[in-house]
Amino acid sequence: MTPEFVIQILRDCLMTAFWLSAPLLIVGFVAGIVVSLIQIVTSIQDTGFSTIPRLAAFLGAFLLSLPWMLSKMTSYTVLILGDLSRYAK
């Protein structure tokens, strides 16, 4: 196993993790901005008001993207474990 091969495996692993987390991070970021803007406009500084909508948005995004995430994880796992003999070299 060459160092370039190990680097490629790690790069693929990190890119898969990035793409799996990107939708949830984007939804969390947008929900946080929207809630903050609403708090600024209405002058409401309640912690429950800032936390619950963000958690609801995150949960909704997680449930909607879960099939896609499972598909990506399964295909990556099959790719890595499909041909173990190439890692033994």
User: For residue 62, which amino acid is it?
Assistant: F
pLDDT at 89: 66
Q: Name the stretches of the chain with pLDDT < 50.
A: none
Query: pTM of the prediction?
Result: 0.78
- Sign of the C-alpha dihedral, residues 57, 58, 63, 65? positive
Please choose, from the candidates 36, 54, 57, 33, the residue with its C-alpha nearest in 3D space to the C-alpha of residue 45: 36
The pLDDT, as a whole number, for residue 37 is 92
Q: What pLDDT was estimated at residue 86? A: 76
Residue pair 54/32 in contact (Cβ under 8 Å)? The answer is: yes
Specify the pLDDT at position 19: 95
| Predicted pLDDT at 84 | 79
